[in-house]
Amino acid sequence: MTFASLGLAAPLLQALDTLGYKTPTPVQIQAIPAVLAGRDLMAAAQTGTGKTAGFALPVLQRLSEGEKAASNSIRALVLVPTRELAEQVQSSFRQYGEHLAVSTYAAYGGVSINPQMMRLRRGVDVLVATPGRLLDLFRQNAIKFKQVEILILDEADRMLDLGFAQELSTVFAALPKQKQTLLFSATFSDEIRSMAKGRLRDPLSIEVSPRNSTVKAVKQWVVPVDKKRKGELFLFMLKDRKWGQVLVFVKTKKGADELVANLLAKKIKADAIHGDKPQASRQRALDSFKAGEVQILVATDVAARGLDIDDLPQVVNFDLPIVAEDYIHRIGRTGRAGASGEAISLVCADEAPLLAAIETLTKQTLEREEEPGFEPDHRVPMTNAAGQLVKKPKKPKVPGGRSAKGVPGNWVGFDDAPAKSGRRGGGRSAPGKTAGPAKKPAAKARPR
């Protein structure tokens, strides 16, 4: 299968050849002909499998065959959840459409609205925008929707997670009823599917990989550790494994800044991307990371879906995400375009429910590897194959009502679990000696 066989025009094929694209991915094979035919579409595919090209290429071709956008008007609207993703998607449109007379532009918050209003006066064929800034422009009469032919929602589930549900409804109400609507994402929540039913016309559904699955090329594992030792463990692994560049995800803006400060104190070049950073600072940090000038880039989930970095070998979840779907998008920053990668999660006891939710969503139990010297005092409860927390089993009784000293191996992972022979925390009694009364189990650590 070639891009030419999908029906793409010569100018697009020329751009793809320049970019080194040889063979279309499964999502592109199914999506491109459908979009060219004018079908509404819902396409779910793993991060890094070419979803952007799956909609950008056919949209560019369709727009190249029509009239240009009038003043303050747009012909195709791409809605995305974050500034970083807006820049990334607009850059892809610009590269793919290099040899076409189709104009593109990105509009998002965090920067002055005035230059955006000035640019829209000339009309834009493809506008990539975040919902909030789009509505700001619309309310100030800087943009008109009468010419909109195509609407694309990229990562719509994330937009709902970020609280854009009302904004999306307002945008849908303002757009023409007759238009082509495309939804592309790595994950589709039930809420998104419900919303799509009322707004898409006989959509073609594409799922080129199991729903909510992760890329097989990414090796994933968990390192149990106490919360207070996460920073120390990360520094140890960074040096011990001789990691190069690493993308690190944390839960909060404060946590991102603190980790960067600790790394800089250790003479490690690091920077952060999060919602409190001005757009110029966020872009500067990303550019420095891509150029190899920064070794560690620390990000919150606001950036998980907008970072497109070539040859990124490691992603580290310093904190697990609150929303399980974000795990898929986080680790999708590595192992892109067929490359291999590693995703390491530093997990403390408090995060056991979050780990269980991730394993339930992805239908896999993540391998655990304790780092010698960093074994946690507060054990991370084990999960079963369905990603559910395993309830603490009762100790078998012995005559006299006492609990037995020896317990099954499935106790490993709980605070009051005896360790296996040779591991910290005890073991079996020495040969020839009689086990004494069992000690009272330690109280299970409560989530903090």
Residue 382's pLDDT is 85
Q: Convert 409-423 to b/e letters by CB count within 10 Å (16 or more is b).
A: eebbbbbbbbeeeee
CA-based torsion, 233, 237, 239, 244: positive or negative: negative
By the 10 Å C-beta count (0-12 exposed, 13-18 middle, 19+ buried), 121 is classed as exposed
Query: Does residue 402 contact residue 437 with C-beta atoms inside 8 Å?
Result: yes
Residue 328, number of CB atoms within 10 A of its CB: 22
Tell me what pLDDT residue 229 has. Answer: 95
Any idea which fold 4-207 has? Answer: Rossmann fold (3.40.50)
Of the candidates 146, 132, 123, 118, the residue with the CA atom closest to the CA atom of residue 80: 132
CA 155 from chain centre, in angstroms, equals: 10
Task: Give the pLDDT score at 395.
Answer: 41
Residue found under tokens 């879906």 = 305
What is the predicted pLDDT for the residue at 208? Answer: 74
Structure confidence at residue 314 (pLDDT): 87
Q: What is the mean pLDDT of each run of 10 residues along the chain (448 residues)?
A: 93 92 89 95 77 94 94 96 86 94 94 96 96 95 96 83 81 93 80 79 79 65 95 94 92 92 94 82 86 91 63 89 82 65 92 89 88 92 72 45 36 33 36 42 43
Burial class (CB in 10 A: 0-12, 13-18, 19+), 137: buried
What per-residue confidence (pLDDT) applies to 419?
A: 36
Residue 129 pLDDT: 96
Question: Is 218-368 a domain of CATH 3.40.640.10?
Answer: no
Three-state secondary-structure class, residue 367: strand
**Among candidates 290, 195, 191, 215, which has minimal Cα distance to 51?**
215
Beta strands across the sheet bearing 41-44: 104-107, 124-129, 74-79, 150-154, 180-185, 41-44, 204-207
Intrachain domains 4-207 and 218-368 with the same fold: yes
3-state secondary structure 79-95: ECCCHHHHHHHHHHHHH
Strand order from edge to edge, sheet including 341-347: 270-273, 296-299, 246-249, 314-317, 341-347, 218-224, 367-368
Query: Which tokens sit at 214?
Result: 């992760």
- DSSP run (H or E) holding 2: none
- pTM of the full structure: 0.60
Contacting residues for 374 by C-beta, under 8 A, at least 6 apart: 223, 225, 229, 232, 233, 236
Per-residue pLDDT reduced to its tens digit, 23-59: 898 889 999 999 999 999 988 876 667 889 999 999 9
Q: What is the pLDDT of residue 387?
A: 64
Q: Are 244 and 81 in contact (CB under 8 A)?
A: no
Query: Where do the domains of the chain lie?
Result: 4-207, 218-368
Q: In this predicted model, what pLDDT tens digit does every residue of 254-308 receive, in sequence order?
A: 999 999 999 999 999 999 988 778 777 888 888 898 888 999 999 987 655 556 6
